[in-house]
Structure 1
Amino acid sequence: MKLTLRKQKQLYKRAAKAIEDYADRPDIVDIEFGLKLVDGLITDELCIRFNVRKKMSTKSLRSNLVLPNEIAGFKTDVVDFDNRLQILVLPPRTKIRPLIGGSQILSQIFLADPYAYGTLGAVMTLNGTYVGITNYHVLYGSIPAQMVQTDYAGKCRIFQHLHDTKSINSIGVASTVFDQALDFALIGIEEPVNLTQSLNGFPGVIKQIIPVDPIYGQTKVKKTGATSGITYGIVYGQSLRNPARFPIISDPNFQDKNLPLSLDGDSGSLWIVNDNDTNIKIVGLHCQGDGETNAVATSITSILNAVKKQTHEIYEN
């Protein structure tokens, strides 16, 4: 099936309504709507995919836990992908100046040994000032949003290299703009930035934020993670529990099959459309991966809507 974005949204709504009875089951990690995978490759068959904590044979399950083969006209699939937050517990040692996206960053909160770092997705402008974007969990871990608002936002210093007492490796301060549910946070950048290359390893600059809502199986993407470097994937679905999340699988036409799609330390990197356009088009913010062929990203459209609501401003360059 050759999907259009309009048709995809219609079918997604139908699937979301159909899985309401399964949405709160504790044995199910997530429920996705998208293209079925066979031997790790995308097919053209739409399905409802249940990601469970442990995949078991139907014979070993109680009858009330067996998932149906079909729901609302959609075939079902059961997987046990182990997608995790991808912070790397090692001290960062590379200092990059001027700053570019794809570089490693470290929050003041995690200065105690062992260090825990993630990725600075990109440097952009908001209301005439430079800001960086990364995951909420990269800056704050599992600290509740209310505590972040009162104790850390606007105060927590962010480093691009090992901390020192003079703070000469600081790149800025955590912004008051963040969202724990969408897993994003902004950083007020105080260091010079390199706008001749906004993302490490990719030509082009972010002249303006061009958000792209992906089409399952058709939108090919790439990212620069602080650990894995440049990797390539394909968006192949969308979470029915959290519409802002979508899964990505390795693109066999670009990604080396012997290398992982993402690694610990890549949290916070940006997935952008894999084309040769120097106007970088952003699809989502990387937040999870299994260290092999699967990753999860948060929709950049959802993030920008949250930023606009909080700041009443729109990014521009």
Structure 2
Amino acid sequence: MTAELAIDVAGLTKSFGPKRVVDNFDIRVPRGAIYGFLGPNGSGKTTTIRMLCGLLTPDAGEGTCLGLDVRREASRIKAEVGYMTQRFSLYEDLSIRENLEFVARMYELDRRRQRVDAALAELGLADRARQLAGTLSGGWKQRLALAACLLHEPRLLLLDEPTAGVDPKARRDFWDEIRRLSGRGVTVLVSTHYMDEAVQCDYIAYIAYGRKLIDGPAAQIARQVGLVTYRVEGPELAALAERLQREPGVEQVARFGAALHVSGTDAAVLEGTVRRYAAAAASDQHWSLQPAGLEEAFIYLMAGARDNFSAATPPRRSS
């Protein structure tokens, strides 16, 4: 990455008691980029985000966020960051406007009324300004939370699973707003479980059990993993999936709607297996080679990751 970096950290580590929650984490995020964190619950995403924005002090590691040292200048970082938590954290017994006015006073902002009015208009909240926050739907609470994050004009937004529990229309509207902010030079770091959101990110980092498995431009992740994927459609897919998992070259079989995605990293061996099955298949079963996507890469990486909270052996890659 040659662009100016908003975040540049290496070796970040954090433990709670005997459990290492984040293990030697590094990341470099260009200014104005949308950087997606993907990983299961308990993978360390939230702890990492809190270290980056100055809410937690790393046990080890170093680096900068917005040009400020993550260990020594945490208070200055917090003043430049908008952090949207997983759970709605504003006051439900206050109105939308009252919540925003409270946040503006907490930040000791000037031009408080103008800032609040602008936030209400920008996020489409003006007509609901008097409505109590506790009566809002998930999508409107999300808009309010984002408006509160933006009042002090942060240079970096840290969004921790911001669209969990909201409807698809609200999610689309939210991402339109994120793209607009990125276009203005605001850097966005967002954790998500949704693959349709991951593809909207400029960069992706896969995190599992406190460790970064891979990162890079979103369009290149599947190629970095090295997966070759075939799609098969037709009858009796469940029985086919069982047989394929024992075949040479097949490292992963995953169901995607009315099709199976059959993947492996040895293209020649996998092709031999596919040719054999395709030749023996019924006429209504169709095989085709397709580019591996983010979801196939995510399943593959997660199946090979070892849970640092468990001594269990990782399962075979199938889904």
TM range (shorter): under 0.3
**Larger proportion of helix:** 2
TM-score, normalization by structure 1: 0.22
TM-score, normalization by structure 2: 0.22
Larger Cα-atom Rg: 2
